[in-house]
Amino acid sequence: MSVVGFKRGAAAASAALTAAAMLALGGCSEGLPEVHSISSLSSLVSSSPAPEKPKGDQPVNVAELITPGALGDIAIGKANAPVTIVQYVSLNCTNCSSFHSQMLPKLKKAYIDKGKARLIVREFPEDGASVTAALALRCVPANDYFKAAEKLFAHQKEWTGTEANKDALYKAVKFTGLKRDKFDACLADQAIVQAINTDKERAKSFGVAVSPTFFVNGKKMAGTVSFEELQSAVETAYAATQAPAAAAQPAQKPKA
């Protein structure tokens, strides 16, 4: 092969590698369309990213993170608890379902009921059906939110699909006393749809990309998180809040 031919071949190979790299980078971008109206929900398809392992991201601005979003926050635990856990969930997420049925009771008993931690739950729907489910959950009275969420998680297979089965959603939440006509009207409320969209965009600004995502006093943990991992994060955060108080205690004089 001549020198000219060799150079041309090398240039072609380099161009091919560059094109392949550009295509690979393009595939990393988030592909979910935005939600603007009820009529657009059917165009959303499930494309939930693969669950991530917990990451050691830098803490976000906690003051901004705990500021309620457009829908307002649903929380359990004392408002002045030293540890604040913010959880972003999609109601069709199996890991989110496992957390609420298996881990939350232990977390509540060990930390929330004792005033050590507070849990704030926010919706982060990942497809059209979970958007409709988030709407349904926001239609029930606030004091029934967690119980209704449990029922939606427990009956995921009945309402999930390309479009949410609204009959199944209503069946899951009607124990709250919500009438069907009120339920249907609530699902069509454009203000709630826009608020869900706004809160999801805000979540992305905190680095949320998958559900569940937890923030423990600002420390991010995303994807499949075990109770032991979450417990360790809560213990570390709680200890950090107690250290200044312990340092401020006056030293006791030795007994004679």
Let me know if residue 101 belongs to a domain.
yes
**Residue 31 near residue 48, CB atoms below 8 Å:** no
Phi, psi of 128 (to 5 degrees): -60, -40
Residue 7 has pLDDT above 70, yes or no: no
- Total structural domains within the chain: 1
- The mean predicted confidence, pLDDT, of the chain is 80
160: CATH = 3.40.30.10
Which residue has better confidence, 219 or 29? 219
Task: Name residue 123's amino acid.
Answer: E
Dist. CA 205–CA 219, nearest whole Å: 15
**Cα 106 to the center of its chain, rounded Å:** 19
Let me know if residue 172 belongs to a domain.
yes
Closest CA to 160 of 129, 136, 186, 138: 129
pLDDT, tens only, 244-256: 655 555 556 555 5
pLDDT, tens only, 111-168: 999 999 999 999 999 999 999 999 999 999 999 999 999 999 999 999 998 889 999 9
Let me know if residue 51 belongs to a domain.
no
- Predicted TM-score (pTM) of this structure: 0.73
**Residue 206 near residue 65, CB atoms below 8 Å:** yes
Domain span at residue 145 reads 71-240
Let me know if residue 9 belongs to a domain.
no
Let me know if residue 177 belongs to a domain.
yes
Residues forming a β-bridge with 75: 120
Let me know if residue 3 belongs to a domain.
no
Let me know if residue 227 belongs to a domain.
yes
Phi, psi of 108 (to 5 degrees): -65, -45
Q: What is the pLDDT at residue 57?
A: 58
Let me know if residue 225 belongs to a domain.
yes
Closest CA to 133 of 101, 165, 175, 97: 165
